[in-house]
Amino acid sequence: MRPFAYFRAEDPADAVARFGPGAMYLGGGTNLVDLMRLGVARPGLLVDVSRLPLDRVGPAAGGGGLLIGAAVRNSDLAAHPLVRERYPMLARAVLSGASGQIRNMATVGGNLLQRTRCAYFQDVSMPCNKRAPGSGCPAIAGDHENLAIIGHSAGAGGSACVATHPSDMAVALTALDARVHVTGAAGDRVIPMPGLHRLPGAEPDRDTVLEAGDLITAVELPPPPPGRSLYRKVRERASFAFALVSAAALLDVAGDGTTRGCKLALGGVAHAPWRAYTAERAVAGLPATASAFSAAADAELAQARPLPGNAHKVALARGLITAVLEELSR
Amino acid sequence: MTAPEAGDQVHTATVTLTVNGESRALEVDTRTSLLDLLREHLGLTGSKKGCDHGQCGACTVLIGGRRANACLALAVAHDGAEVTTVEGLADGDALHPLQDAFIRYDAFQCGYCTPGQLCSAAGMLTEGGPSAVTADLTGDPALTPGEIRERMSGNLCRCGAYVNIVRAVTAVSTAGTEP
CA dist A284 → A96, A273, B21 (Å): 29, 22, 60
Whether residue A245 contacts residue A273, with contact meaning beta carbons closer than 8 Å, is answered with no
Burial state string for B89-114 with b = 16 or more CB within 10 A and e = fewer than 16: beeeeeebbbbbbbeebebbeeebbb
Whether residue B7 has pLDDT greater than 80: no
Taking CA atoms, B73 is separated from A13, A103, B110, B156, in Å, by: 25, 13, 26, 19
Which residues of chain B have a CB within 8 Å of the CB of A101? 54, 57, 60, 67-69, 120, 123, 154
Low-confidence ranges of chain A (pLDDT < 70): none
Contact residues, chain A, for B66 at CB < 8 Å? 75, 104
Whether domain B12-88 has CATH 3.40.50.300:
no
Domains of chain A with CATH codes:
228-329 (3.30.390.50)
Cα–Cα distance, B119 to B124 (Å, whole number)? 8
Domain boundaries, chain B: 12-88, 97-174
pLDDT digits (tens, 9 = 90+) for B103-122: 999 999 999 999 999 999 99
Q: Does B14 touch chain A (CB under 8 A)?
A: no
Chain A interface, mutation test: which of B137, B152, B169, most A Cβ atoms within 10 Å?
B137
Best mutation target among A37, A55, A74, A101 (most B Cβ atoms within 10 Å) is A101
pLDDT in tens, B121-159: 999 999 999 999 999 999 899 999 999 999 999 999 999
What is the fold, at CATH topology level, of the domain defined by B97-174? DNA polymerase; domain 1 (1.10.150)
Which of A1, A30, A91 lies closest to B130 in CB terms? Answer: A91
DSSP secondary structure string, B45-75?
TTS--SSSSSSS-TTEEEETTEEEETTTSBG
Angle formed by the axes of helices B114-127 and B97-104, nearest 10°: 120
Return d(Cα A164, Cα A119) in angstroms, integer.
11
Contact A240 B154 (CB under 8 A): yes
Rounded Cα–Cα distance for residues A209 and A230 (Å): 28
Per-residue pLDDT at B176 exceeds 90: no
Q: State the distance between the two ends of chain B, measured CA to CA, in whole angstroms.
A: 35
The answer, yes or no, to whether the previous bond of A194 is cis (omega within 30 of 0) is: yes
In whole angstroms, how large is the CA radius of gyration of chain B? 17
pLDDT at residue B6, as a whole number: 57
Distance linking the first and last C-alpha atoms of chain A: 53
d(CA A27, CA A33): 10
Per-residue model confidence (pLDDT) at position B178: 47
pLDDT-based confidence at residue B8 (cuts at 50, 70, 90): confident
Q: What is the structure's pLDDT at A62?
A: 87
B56 touches chain A (CB under 8 A): no
ipTM of the complex: 0.96
Residue B177 pLDDT > 50: no
Give yes or no for a contact between A287 and A293, defined as CB atoms under 8 angstroms apart.
Answer: no
Distance between CA atoms of residues A182 and B163, nearest Å: 46
